[in-house]
Amino acid sequence: MATSPLESISQDLDWREAELGSLKLLLARNDTTEHQKDVLLKACWALLYAHYEGFVKTALTVFYDEAKRRAQDCGSLPKPTRLFALEKMLRQIRNLPPPDFLDQIETFTGTHHLGKPVFPDVDTKSNLWPNVLQELLDAADINLPSLTNHKVLINTLVSRRNKIAHGNQAMILEVADYRSYEAAVYDLMYELAFGVDERLGQSPYI
């Protein structure tokens, strides 16, 4: 039996939650030194960001794979999603010599609008700041209200992950502080999973 998009996304979320939970269990042990707890907490921050970025990329990839399968043609897609599919081609056409440019324009609808969409890879730019995530959501025509609610927390999460990766030793990290960021990431993850499912249940994907 085929796995639905929501099931695929949920399975991806399950193992990510399990990894984060395992690391938190180590952090909660009473037989670790303060230095070990500091290292584990930094690992929690880094892993939380990795799963935030990885989940977004996976969920949107599942969305586009299913959108391609369900959409009758590229021309039926919402304008932002259609632009996402055609942007590379449009950039190539724009740089053609005038005669070739005209040829492409005259045949564009038949060649590209009437065919199945071809989507590029989801690019998180290795730093999934809130504005980057919003651009990805806009292209998929998916609404994620929790992103507005957690914008400041996600900004800080990306910033701290970068500082940890660059060897910054001056950060003061607390477990209680981390938990609020983890809750924000889970809000985004769950809302994105259901957002993908909801969008695929609407035109032009039904």
pLDDT digits 0-9 by tens, 87-141: 888 787 778 788 877 777 766 666 667 678 999 999 999 899 999 999 999 999 9
Cα angle 90, 144, 23 (rounded to 5 degrees) comes to 110
- pTM for this prediction: 0.89
* Residue-level pLDDT at 1: 64
Nearest to 13 by CA among 194, 200, 191, 189: 189
CATH architecture of 5-71+119-200: Up-down Bundle (1.20)
**Span(s) in the chain for CATH 1.20.120:** 5-71+119-200
* Residue-level pLDDT at 138: 98
Radius of gyration of the chain (CA): 21
* Residue-level pLDDT at 81: 97
* Residue-level pLDDT at 56: 98
* Residue-level pLDDT at 91: 81
